[in-house]
Amino acid sequence: MKKRNGIIPMNCVDRALLAYENTNQVMIIHMILSIEGEIDADRLNQALISVLHLHPTMRTIMRSRHFRHFRQIQEDFEGKILEVSDLADLKSVKDLSNVEINTGYERCLSEWINRPLDIEAEFPFRVLLLRKTAAEFSLIFTFHHSAVDEIRAIRFINEVISRYNNKAPDESLLPEDMRIHRKGDELVELARSERPKTEHFYREMLSHLFYFLFIAPYYRPSRIFHDKLEQSQEIRFCSGKINPTELEQMESKSKSVSGTVNDILLAACFRTIEKWNRLHGEESKKISIMVPVDIGPEELQHVFSNQLSYVSISTVRKDRTDTTKLLRRVRTKTAYIIRKSRGKTFFSVYLAYFFSHLPLAIHKPIAQFISLPLYADTVALSNVGFVRFGDDGDGEMEKGGFKITDFTFVGPVLNIMGIFLSAGTYNNNLSIDLSYKTSCFSKEKSGEFLDLYLKEIKNYQVDPEAD
């Protein structure tokens, strides 16, 4: 990297997420694409460089000045962006068995996921092409969460795949990142623009602030039982599937009470946590789930940054006894907060804005304080929605081409939660991915929890005639 030119201010959510870096909580997200076919590594690297030229946020390094963080654009960067690891060549040289190749693949994947990302010395993302066999690959995109959220990360990947397939839009038609030429926080401006359109906006926000600061500490949510068998802080993951038929049944059940698939995912999560804790002799009173919400307006859709807020949905024991009533309660509460109670939706933006104006020296202790059992939700559950990458996954694979067969999301895990649940629909299958810390969950326990959650989702009972 040689030439440096221009800066991009970090919005309040960017800076708030960055504060967790110094608290043993790695704010990194990984998107893993499982691929069949052939990939030209040089061509893929060129596609990455082409996309980087269009998105300055993704070719920045972090700097600090006057007690503030900002991103400095690198206008001239050299070398390969794409990293390549070829286990197929290793197999031919050392005559390794399939078991040894699988073990080597899991080791490479784990090392990549747990490798630190130094955004003061490198771009806030990296990419690995991991070749398992002659026609079996994994393409792993890793992003620092202080630079981009899950939805914008998927759009970045889609642009790379489209450019690799020579199907990208004309560069002259793509708008420039407006943040380079203006001051101010785009999320705070968005929150302020909501006030005239929303009745009781500030009242809702201030009442939620009062609850957060003075009531929540005395009404803490239950925690998920952890077995805590290891001292390491490694991130690992496991995945399960809801097939197209089961997904259709979920949609039918949710629509029968005017709900969505997200509502069933939430309701089933509440019941799973309660059942899990009961199996391990723990009592569950209040259970609170953090749900990320996309607040990005149309004019910022092309910008790679954090455009997410979050809402907390909670239930008590009596809410979870009847599955239909629970689903209706979740549907009503979620819809009200997101559509009507916009002050609560933008509460985290204002909280992050206040937090970001404090001196850097006290960011770490405040981040530690907020992530303690005093304020943290029980678990985070995110649904990135329908995922598409160009035309891949549809139709027959052309000679010399490739097909993306699966998609896995590995999210950031807060210490107090221990796991991060995510969902996404690809190729008509709903993937449920569970990211966990080895200091909180063993491989066996994480698998058991995910199996319990999948079973609850598939067998969720709904009676539309019930009161």
| Lookup: tokens for 415 | 């210490």
On the question of pLDDT at 367 being above 90, the answer is no
The answer on 272 and 166 residing in a single domain is no
Given 180, 215, 250, the domain boundary residue is 180
**Shared domain check, 201 and 149:** no
pLDDT digits (tens, 9 = 90+) for 191-204: 888 888 888 888 88
- Higher pLDDT: 459 or 134? It is 459
Tell me, yes or no, whether 230 and 146 share the same domain: no
Q: What is the mean pLDDT of residues 15-31?
A: 80
Task: Decide if 463 is inside a domain.
Answer: no
d(CA 126, CA 48): 10
pLDDT number for residue 19:
76
- Say yes or no: 158 and 231 in one domain: no
Positive or negative torsion for Cα 207, 212, 218, 224: positive
244 lies in a domain? yes
For residues 128-151, average pLDDT: 92
Same domain, 217 and 356: yes
pLDDT at 386: 92
* Residue 233: predicted pLDDT: 82
Question: Does the pLDDT value for residue 150 go beyond 90?
Answer: yes
Across the chain, mean pLDDT equals 86
Give the pLDDT of residue 395: 47
Instruction: State the Cα–Cα distance between residues 406 and 14, nearest whole angstrom.
Output: 29
Other C-beta atoms closer than 10 Å to the C-beta of 41 total 15
Would you list the DSSP string of 35-88? EEE---HHHHHHHHHHHHHH-GGGGEEEEEETTEEEEEEESS--S-SEEEEEHH
Q: Tell me what the mean pLDDT of segment 231-257 comes to.
A: 93
pLDDT at 399: 53
In Å, how far are 9, 57, 124 from 61, measured between CA atoms? 12, 9, 7
pLDDT of residue 9: 81
CATH number of the CATH domain containing 279: 3.30.559.30
Lookup: tokens for 447: 């698998």
- Domain co-membership, 28 together with 128: yes
Q: Per the domain annotation, does 333 fall within a domain?
A: yes
Residue type, 160: V
Pick the more confident residue, 440 or 171: 440
**Predicted pLDDT at 359:** 72
**Within a domain: residue 173?**
yes
From CA 253, how far away is CA 283, in angstroms rounded? 29
- Count Cβ atoms below 10 Å from residue 75 Cβ, excluding itself: 13
Examine the domain organization and report whether 256 and 232 are in the same domain: yes
Rounded CA-CA distance 58/413 in Å is 23
Shared domain check, 367 and 243:
yes
Count of domains forming the chain: 2
Point out the least confidently predicted range of 200-214, 231-245, 256-270, 360-374: 360-374
Distance CA 276, CA 289 (A): 15
Split at pLDDT 50, 70, 90, the class of 176 is low
pLDDT at 2: 47
pLDDT score of 64 more than 80? no
Instruction: Tell me which residue range forms the domain holding 413.
Output: 186-458
Put simply, whether the predicted model's pTM sits higher than 0.75 gets the answer: yes
Over residues 310-363, the pLDDT tens digits come to 889 999 999 999 999 999 999 999 988 888 788 888 888 888 888 777 776 777
Say yes or no: 166 and 197 in one domain: no
Q: Mark which of 120, 146, 180 sits at the end of a domain.
A: 180
Question: Hunting for tokens 């907060």 — which residue is that?
Answer: 337
**CATH code (residue 92):** 3.30.559.10
Last residue of a domain, one of 180, 213, 246: 180
Segment 386-435, tens digit of pLDDT: 998 875 445 454 555 889 999 999 999 988 898 999 999 999 999 999 99
